[in-house]
Every structure is written in structure tokens, then in C-alpha cells.
Amino acid sequence: MAKRLLSHAAVALFWLLHFLPLPLLAALGRGLGRLLLALGKRRRHIAATNLALCFPELDAAAREQRLRAHFEAIGRSLLERSLLWWSRPERLRQLVRVEGEEKIRALIDAGKPVIMLAPHFVGLDAGGVALAMRFDALSIYSTQKNPVFNTLLYRGRKRFGDQKLLSRQEGALATIKAMRAGRPFYYLPDMDFGRRDSIFAPFFGVPAATITGLSRLARAAGATVLFTVTRMLPDGGYVLEIGDPWPDFPTADADADTRRMNEAIEAVVRTMPEQYYWVHRRFKTRPEGEPSFY
């Protein structure tokens, strides 16, 4: 009971944050990020390891600066979720600018299933809310251990429109059916989900266990892939960039398609390296005989 009351109190405090002006909220978020960097020994180690693996050309001081910038971006994204969950739609439209919305509409109007490939950048949730304000979409939802926070996250994802949230256990058939019914799929396949349905595809030159789901789902549903990235802006706010349809995708070679996906993600990460989700153990699963990086 005490833990539940503390959770409710934390949510109430979090709710109050959405009344703050964005510059102040962003400053508080950066401060929170610096605190997390100082106190979060395990996540700091994971992020530092990932940065060393992916940017060996940087010296220790440059990687440390990038690590600090990354945690500041995480802190901002955490506090600014209060805006996503409780701010008025008018404020959210000013907060998140969308570029390329017409590309999704054109495909849906033509009756073509759509997969929005959305890598794990810190602005991911802001892009998801902007999408939900415009389309009845589809995404994958992972249940949280804390029931209070789970309810908060679930309601936040379902706040606008008629959003369909599937668990990872519901499988490909439900996903394909929803896409064919006209729901664009906000798909996040760039985490280490273990060996099942994965290959070791290079990511910054390091073999990374990567699921082949993008290729397989696109082929099964006859879907068009749009590369979708949400950038956190330094002066406040976000921009959701929707790219052009990927040509010649998928192919008959799911492994080659998966390597192509990682190459595309890596190219965008290099444009804003502090905003990629480095606190995830992206290289957790190793080829047989290789020791853990972490």
C-alpha cells in the first residue's frame, strides 16, 4: 500500500510539471539528467561502453562530453513526457512539428499498409503522440512492473484517437491485420531482443543482434517502409521527420534488409549522437564464444 501511495504522489508531482513553461522544464530536465549521470552507476557504465564501442575515434574527454549530453537529453525527455500526457492539444501541436505527414496519408488513401521505422531516439514518445493526434495507428506496448506507472503509460499512449496497442506476445498476424486495416505501424525494432528471430548485423562496425522483423512484416503485409525520426530541438520542442518510401524494400533476403536497416539508423545517429538511446545494452547478445561487453 505504501509503495502504491508513493507512486500516486510521484504521478501527482509529475502532473504539476506540465504547467511549467518549456524553457524552464527543459532546464530542469537537463539538471535531472546530470543527477542521473552522477547516481546511475549501472546505466552510466552501459552508455559509456556503447559510446566507446561505436565511437572509438573519439578521445576520453570527447566521449565524456557526449555522455553528459546524452543524459541531459534523457532527463529532458523524461520530464517533458508530462507535456505529452496532460498538455492541451493546441500546446502539443506547437511542441512537436511534423514534416512529411502527407506521405503517410497518400499511402493510406491508396490502400497500402505502412510501417514507420522509428529508431530509439529520446524524442520517440513525442513523435508517437504527434502521430496519434493525426492517425489511428498501431504500436507495440510493453507492460510495466509498477501498476500505477503502467496505467499512466497506457493512458498516455491511448490519449488521442483510436490507438491500437499490441503486446509482443500477440504476434505478427495481429500486426499484419491491423496494418492492412489502414493503421500505420510505429515500429521500434532496433533493440537487442536476444537470439530469436535475430541475426548479427553490423551497427557502428560491431555485430549487434538485430531482429529481422522489419523485412518479414513488410513482405507479409505488402507494406511500404517510411524512415521516421523524432529530433529533440536544443531550444525546446521536437520535430517528427517522415522520410520517403524506401525503394526496393523488402527484398527476398531478410538478412540483407536487416543490415540495410542498421546502416540507415547508424547514419541518422551520427547526425545527433547524444539523442540515441545509449543506456540500452544494444550489444548484450554476443556471437558464440564472445565475452560480454558490459
| Separation CA 177–CA 179 (nearest Å) | 6
One-letter amino acid of 269: V
Q: How many domains does the chain have?
A: 1
Give 119-156 pLDDT, tens digit per residue: 999 999 999 999 999 999 999 888 877 887 788 888 88
**pLDDT score, position 167:** 82
Cell of 54: 561505436
What would the mean pLDDT of 34-46 be, rounded to a whole number?
97
Does a structural domain hold residue 146? yes
Give the pLDDT of residue 11: 84
Give the three-class secondary structure for 38: helix
- Whether the predicted pLDDT of 4 surpasses 90: no
Q: Report the mean per-residue pLDDT for the chain.
A: 94
Domain containing 159 equals 2-275
Strand 138-140 to 164-166 pairing: parallel
Higher pLDDT, 285 or 289: 285
* pLDDT 10s digits, 143-152: 877 887 788 8
Domain-located, residue 73: yes
Whether residue 287 is contained in a domain is answered as: no
pLDDT at 1 over 70: no
What is the structure's pLDDT at 102?
97
Residue 293: predicted pLDDT = 97
Q: Residue 263 pLDDT > 70, yes or no?
A: yes
Confidence category of residue 165, pLDDT binned at 50, 70, 90: very high
pLDDT tens per residue across span 214-260: 999 999 999 999 999 999 999 789 999 999 999 999 999 999 999 99
pLDDT per residue as tens digits for the range 191-205: 999 999 999 999 999
Of the listed ranges 5-14, 15-24, 123-132, 156-165, the least confidently predicted one is 5-14
pLDDT digits (tens, 9 = 90+) for 76-91: 999 999 999 999 999 9
Helix (H, G, I), strand (E, B) or coil at 159: coil
Whole-number Å distance between alpha carbons of 208 and 60: 23
Residue 292 forms part of a structural domain: no
Are 101 and 82 in contact by the 8 Å Cβ rule? The answer is no
- How much is the pLDDT for 150? 82
pLDDT at 161 over 80: yes
Residue 284 included in any domain: no
Question: Average pLDDT, stretch 17-36?
Answer: 96
pLDDT number for residue 235: 78
Q: Is the pLDDT of residue 42 over 70?
A: yes
Q: How much of the chain, in percent, has pLDDT values that exceed 70?
A: 99
**Inter-residue contact 41 to 60 (CB < 8 Å):** no
Residue 2 has pLDDT above 70, yes or no: no
Backbone angles phi, psi at 189, to 5 degrees: -95, 10
Q: How many Cα atoms are found within 13 Å in the side-chain-facing hemisphere of 264?
A: 22
Q: Averaged over 99-110, what is the pLDDT?
A: 97
Residue 286: inside a domain: no
